[in-house]
Amino acid sequence: MERSVFYSAQAGRQIDAPRRSRARFAIGDIVRHRKHDFRGVIFDIDPVYANSEEWFAQIPEGQRPNRDQPFYHLLAENEDSSYVAYVSQQNLVVDTDGEPIDHPQVNQLFEDFRSGRYFLRRSLTH
């Protein structure tokens, strides 16, 4: 399998990743966590785990996801608060509510909500 290297500012190091990764979700998709009661909109995708070792160590050992899968950055919300979440692909499912996310940063990254998904601001796309 071909590999590539990218720098992760969050991890503070180079990350070795497969050249091709099969992300199940896309930027702008609304997803729900499989085990915890929150939902969010995806605003970035890492092809493999690219956060700090300290962050990974905080996950209980029996619940740690495989590092060699896509990880998603979410503008997330639950009943109590809004926050940014970093979640493995194995822990996400499609959100079927069809409702927008009520997160204070949504309008900074996305300009439109149609058909149950968000569209990135044109100024942020390549």
Query: What per-residue confidence (pLDDT) applies to 5?
Result: 66
Interacting residues of 68 by C-beta distance below 8 A, sequence separation 6+:
18, 48, 49
Give residues with Cβ within 8 angstroms of 20, minimum separation 6: 2
What pLDDT was estimated at residue 73?
97
Residue 55 corresponds to which tokens in the numbers above? 């962050």
Rounded distance, CA 18 to CA 14, Å?
13
What pTM value is reported for the model?
Answer: 0.84
Quote the CATH superfamily of domain 3-124: Hemimethylated DNA-binding domain (2.30.30.390)
Instruction: Give the residue extent of every domain in the chain.
Output: 3-124
Say what the pLDDT of residue 65 is: 94
